[in-house]
Amino acid sequence: MCKKHLPRSVSRRDILRYTLAGAGLAALGPLGRGLIPVASGAPIAAHRRLVSLFCYGGYDGLNLLVPTTNAAYYTRRPSIAVQPANALDIGEADYRLHPELDRIAALFGTGEACAFRLVGYPQANLSHFISQDIHSWGVRGDFSPLGIDESGWVARYADLHAPTPMGAAAIGVGRPLEFEGGMSNPFMAGSLAGFEFSDSSIGSSDHAHRMATLSSVLQSYSGDTLTTEAKNALDQGIQLSDQIQLAVSSYQDPMSGSPFSAAYPTSTPGRYLRDAAILIRGGFETRVFMTGFNGWDTHGSQGNETGTMANLIARMDDAVGTFVDDCKDMGVWNDTLLLISSEFGRRNFENGSTGTDHGHGNIFFAIGGNLSGTARLYGPDITEADVSGQNWLHYEVDYRDMFREAVANHLGGNGAAVFPEVQAINTFLGYV
Amino acid sequence: MHTPRSLRSRCAPIGALLVALLVVPACGGGGGGGGPEPSPGTPAYLSLAPKAALTDTDVRHFLQRTHFGFSQPHYDAIGQLGFGPYVDAMTTYADTTALETAARNAYLVDAQDPTGDFPSASDLARWWLYMALLNENPFQERMALHWHDHFATSTTVLDTANSHYFINHVTLWRHDGASNLRDLLITMALDSAMLVWLDGISNVDGAPNENFGREFLELFCLGVDVEYTQQDIVEAARAFTGFRQRFDAATQKNFIEFDPARHDHSAKTVLGVLIPAQTPGAGEVHEYDQMVDIVLGTNEAGTGVSRVGQWIIRSLLEGFCYEDPPQAVIDELANDLRAAAWDLKPVLMKLFQSEAFFSAEAQAGIVKGPIEHVVGFTRTTGLVGNPSEIDRRLQLMGNRLTQPPTVDGWPGGTQWLSAQGMLDRANLLNYLTEQSEGLQASLSITALQLLPAPDADSTATVDSLITRLRVTPSDAERTALITYLDTERDNGGVVTPDLFDPVGDPTEAENRVRGLLWILGQHPTYQLR
């Protein structure tokens, strides 16, 4: 079973390790591999964190940040438009939020959330999978002129700034392309509660015995690239499972754990963001969290204030709102930035099945305790001509400016190294 | 509305599974032969000439790739029939009615649903998994899994009234996986589950829905941005208009029909080919088979090689042969496929007997997905579990049959190799190697049956099992495994040397072999196929 999309000449399997050209980082040795993570139960680490929540399927940004005074929006979306009276006021004359974004709307009111309009990248690609890959790589064109091998942007960040096994974490999204390449070994979990070995029913002594044998086999193992990937993944599981379980049980402790342990919605984003909070409260040194959930490919029966997409929005909003409260309780909110994005926007008009087909330009969000800008909205205004005269929104803000500023100004990292490609459009946003 | 099927699924399926795992497959003989002569100057990985003599390792590689893993009866059958005739028989699917009836009785039919027309999503997943575990021709199931990944469709969009669509959908991949590509494409495009999954039933004249049109070109037939443009997608979507879903109150089931009033009767031009306008009215017909013929007629400029041929062959090579297929091999098989009027069988036979298939590059390994991992382990060791429990765990691992995450199928490759993924594999093998379910005990399935001799010592046992599972430990690792069999560890954690003795203490030996199988299942080399 192979991924069908190999838009570049090299397959994922053969992705060479990202070369740390020149930098004195070679002194760190085999980055990440085998380093002992910060033990769970340590105090909450004092450093900045970035959480990327990716909405797979291409969400319809125009129904998230609704251009309530844009007549073309209502003309072209007779049944799926969100009506101004039902949308949430964020203090902007021409834009309101979808009614299910109530918790995020409140954060707009306190200067803890903002949105970016007309976000995209050069040469729109309307394939989910190519567009997702472009976002994962942080590179639109070829890697060869950049002098680096193919790698995801989180892998590049982790190599430079967070090379330990817990330095970057993917939760619930498998092993995303963001983590491919590079020399660090980010943490990937589907569910922290399930991140442990089952004992053999034959008897716990047998389990300990076979685990000891397995560990000794792994210690002496040396193989090719692929089997080494397998070995590293298993090593990581063995090394971390006890600490992860300690973090889970500490988080859930009714006396000393999180007061929000039971408050998260049981939806997919709720579970994933709760797991992120467990890692933070557990004292792990994770800098970048990558998570997301799908369902946003609303070709049919998209709904408006209610319906399919509204349900997805509600799930996202409840999960994010709870996570923000949890972070505030932990005292880490001023160190935390959450970015919400998706592979592309959708058509300006509804199709015959009251849904929307694939488009390009979109609206992204940033939520955090230390947003520096005073603006609630970044990027140009969405004009009537943008909506009426085009099939889909064009882009005027490269999504990488949003992420680069997060890496450079929020995380204090080398934004130019993580997003090295020369862009056709550069925008200084100054939101963080 | 359905009663739990746990009791049912714990008894009948497992009894049949035991039989299936031990029976010699019924392979028809005949056929084979022919093909091009080996060309001495060509590197093996580029050569589609038949490999002259297969080694023991070659046969095990073949079983790993095409049968989910080693199986003694199939290994023996290759020896008895000869390799060419075996591949011929394997790609000629026998009637599997008995298996399907057993699966249907176990998972689709019950007192509340005597016709089996209202299966739940879990019913469908377990029904198929059961057949994948039991089929005496594992290739038929491996091939079906391949097409399920390529033409990925999920039960998640179905409900009680139309979940029965998926029975035909699975049957298409299971019955016709080695048949004719043109027929497969047409049947796939018109398949009811597909029409729901990619919005074909809401694609209407005047307001086309591009979902199926795009994926038909991009994912199913041509590859991303190969030959087609956005305008082709728009035109294709118009050609695909006209189907709708209706509810039949008498049967309480949905059905799908073509409604000329919803079809765009004006002319379309797709990939440079004109689909003429139709006269509006009752005589109007759908244009799905025309669309299939248009894409099948698309060739690469310059070489003239079929674009669909290239895309489908690439998919087959990535699934069965190697991850980075050389263009020359793709093009040769793509030409063969078109020359065979799109019959898949001769192409599959040529591939599986080729020097390329057995080349070092092809044997280097492809990452097993969880389905391949668990079905392979069960078929290779005979240690069975309850398909319902296996399905539950596959769902957690993101590799549930009937539910690929997107129309792109499963991500695959190294994306399976996360720490969580490895823990999940370990825990699934823990389930299969434990005996708490009592299934294996009640069916007298023992791990000791895998020993090379009833009184085999630890060294012979380790060597036999690493060969069977295709695990390749270093000398030091092998020594650690032998020591494991020759060691006792008490509840206090005290380790004492104690020779492996399957005759004198079969209970203890059984436990140790099961522990050894669990360890081997974690070995890095076992994660590849």
Query: Which residue in chain A has the smallest CA separation from B219?
Result: A4
| A interface test, pick of B420, B472, B514, B517 with most A CB neighbours within 10 Å | B420
**B391-450: per-residue pLDDT in tens?**
999 998 889 999 998 898 998 888 788 888 899 999 999 999 986 555 676 677 889 999
Judge whether residue A260 has pLDDT over 70: yes
Residue A170 touches partner B, C-beta closer than 8 Å: yes
Split at pLDDT 50, 70, 90, the class of B494 is confident
pLDDT recorded at residue B436:
55
pLDDT recorded at residue A236:
86
pLDDT recorded at residue A201:
62
Judge whether residue B21 has pLDDT over 70: no
Least confident of A218-222, B92-96, B185-189: A218-222
Judge whether residue B34 has pLDDT over 70: no
Q: In whole angstroms, what separates CA B1 from the centre of its chain?
A: 30
| A interface test, pick of B173, B417, B477, B496 with most A CB neighbours within 10 Å | B417
Rounded to an integer, what distance in angstroms lies between the CA atom of residue A136 and that of residue A314? Answer: 25
Least confident of A99-103, A233-237, A311-315, A328-332: A233-237
Out of A3, A223, A297, the one facing B524 most closely (by C-beta) is A223
Split at pLDDT 50, 70, 90, the class of A35 is very low
Least confident of A33-42, A326-335, B157-166, B350-359: A33-42
pLDDT recorded at residue B8:
31
pLDDT recorded at residue B442:
67
Least confident of A113-127, A135-149, A254-268, B311-325: A135-149
Q: Kindly state the DSSP code that residue A141 receives in the 8-state scheme.
A: S
Rounded to an integer, what distance in angstroms lies between the CA atom of residue A184 and that of residue A182? Answer: 6
Rounded average pLDDT over A328-344: 97
Least confident of A12-26, A160-174, B141-155, B224-238: A12-26
Q: Kindly state the DSSP code that residue A419 receives in the 8-state scheme.
A: S
Split at pLDDT 50, 70, 90, the class of A44 is confident
Out of A126, A127, A202, the one facing B514 most closely (by C-beta) is A202
Residue B506 class from Cβ within 10 Å (0-12 exposed, 13-18 middle, 19+ buried)? middle
pLDDT recorded at residue A182:
74
Judge whether residue A20 has pLDDT over 80: no
Judge whether residue B16 has pLDDT over 70: no
Least confident of A197-206, A392-401, B135-144: A197-206
Query: Which residue in chain B has the smallest CA separation from A129?
Result: B408
| B interface test, pick of A217, A296, A357 with most B CB neighbours within 10 Å | A217
β pairing state of A362-368 and A113-120:
antiparallel
Rounded to an integer, what distance in angstroms lies between the CA atom of residue B520 and that of residue B523? Answer: 5
Residue contact A5–B408, C-beta within 8 A: yes
| A interface test, pick of B194, B522, B529 with most A CB neighbours within 10 Å | B522
Nearest to A47 by CA among A272, A286, A275: A286
pLDDT recorded at residue A161:
94
Question: Please, what is the end-to-end C-alpha distance for chain B in angstroms?
Answer: 40
Token representation of residue A218: 């792994």
Rounded average pLDDT over B346-356: 98
**B367-390: per-residue pLDDT in tens?**
999 999 999 999 999 998 889 999
> Within 10 Å of residue B388's Cβ, how many Cβ atoms?
22
**A371-380: per-residue pLDDT in tens?**
987 899 999 9
> Which chain B residues contact residue A175 at CB under 8 A?
411, 414-418, 421
From chain A residues 65-104, the ones with a CB under 8 A of any chain B CB are none
| A interface test, pick of B316, B414, B510 with most A CB neighbours within 10 Å | B414
Rounded to an integer, what distance in angstroms lies between the CA atom of residue B180 and that of residue B168? Answer: 17
Residue contact A217–B214, C-beta within 8 A: no
Judge whether residue A355 has pLDDT over 50: yes
Task: Report which of residues B21 and B499 the model is more confident about.
Answer: B499
Query: Which residue in chain B has the smallest CA separation from A232?
Result: B419
> Which chain A residues contact residue B527 at CB under 8 A?
226-227, 230
pLDDT recorded at residue B25:
41
Judge whether residue A75 has pLDDT over 80: yes
Is residue B161 within 8 A of residue B254, CB to CB? The reply is yes
Least confident of B39-43, B450-454, B459-463: B39-43
**CA of A109 vs chain B CAs: smallest distance (Å):** 37
Residue A231 touches partner B, C-beta closer than 8 Å: yes
Query: What is the percent of chain A where pLDDT is above 90?
Result: 70
> Which chain A residues contact residue B150 at CB under 8 A?
4
From chain A residues 177-206, the ones with a CB under 8 A of any chain B CB are 180, 187-191, 194-206
Rounded average pLDDT over A279-301: 94
Out of A11, A197, A213, the one facing B484 most closely (by C-beta) is A213
Residue contact A294–B406, C-beta within 8 A: yes
Token representation of residue B442: 């009640």
pLDDT recorded at residue B203:
94
Residue A14 touches partner B, C-beta closer than 8 Å: yes
Rounded average pLDDT over A288-310: 96
Is residue B218 within 8 A of residue A126, CB to CB? The reply is no
Q: Residue length, chain B?
A: 529
Judge whether residue B498 has pLDDT over 80: yes
Out of B214, B515, B524, the one facing A206 most closely (by C-beta) is B515
Rounded average pLDDT over A12-18: 30
Task: Supply the ipTM of this predicted assembly.
Answer: 0.87
Out of B204, B209, B519, the one facing A299 most closely (by C-beta) is B209
> Which chain B residues contact residue A352 at CB under 8 A?
202-204, 206-209
Out of A205, A233, A352, the one facing B209 most closely (by C-beta) is A352
Residue contact B413–A222, C-beta within 8 A: no
Query: Which residue in chain B has the smallest CA separation from A170?
Result: B418
Rounded to an integer, what distance in angstroms lies between the CA atom of residue A279 and that of residue A285? Answer: 8
> Which chain B residues contact residue A204 at CB under 8 A?
491
Q: Is the dihedral of CA B300, B304, B309, B314 positive or negative?
A: negative
Residue A17 touches partner B, C-beta closer than 8 Å: no
Q: What is the average pLDDT value for chain B, to the nearest integer?
A: 90
Residue contact B224–A14, C-beta within 8 A: no
Rounded to an integer, what distance in angstroms lies between the CA atom of residue B237 and that of residue A36? Answer: 54
**CA of B491 vs chain A CAs: smallest distance (Å):** 5
**CA of A198 vs chain B CAs: smallest distance (Å):** 5
Nearest to A187 by CA among A213, A204, A165, A161: A165
> Which chain A residues contact residue B411 at CB under 8 A?
3, 174-175
Indicate the pTM of the whole model: 0.82
Is residue B143 within 8 A of residue B178, CB to CB? The reply is yes
Ordered by start, the domain boundaries in chain A are 47-418
Token representation of residue A207: 């389990």
Residue contact A213–B427, C-beta within 8 A: no
pLDDT recorded at residue B419:
84
**Could you give phi then psi for residue A380, rounded to 5 degrees?**
-70, 160
Query: Per CATH, which fold does A47-418 belong to?
Result: Alkaline Phosphatase, subunit A (3.40.720)
Rounded average pLDDT over A237-245: 90
Rounded average pLDDT over B499-513: 94
Residue A208 touches partner B, C-beta closer than 8 Å: yes
Residue A144 touches partner B, C-beta closer than 8 Å: no
Q: What is the average pLDDT value for chain A, to the nearest integer?
A: 88
pLDDT recorded at residue B475:
94
Task: Report which of residues B145 and A228 the model is more confident about.
Answer: B145
**CA of A140 vs chain B CAs: smallest distance (Å):** 15
**CA of B12 vs chain A CAs: smallest distance (Å):** 24
pLDDT recorded at residue B5:
32
pLDDT recorded at residue B1:
36
Angle at alpha carbon of residue A67, lines to A62 and A70, rounded to 5°: 120
**CA of B112 vs chain A CAs: smallest distance (Å):** 31
**B3-12: per-residue pLDDT in tens?**
333 323 323 3
pLDDT recorded at residue B130:
95
Rounded average pLDDT over A285-307: 95
Which residues does residue A25 pair with via DSSP β-bridges, in sequence order?
A: none
Query: Which residue in chain B has the smallest CA separation from A355?
Result: B209
pLDDT recorded at residue B26:
38
Judge whether residue A407 has pLDDT over 60: yes
Task: Report which of residues B36 and A267 the model is more confident about.
Answer: A267
**CA of B250 vs chain A CAs: smallest distance (Å):** 27
**B108-121: per-residue pLDDT in tens?**
999 999 999 999 99
Judge whether residue B275 has pLDDT over 70: yes
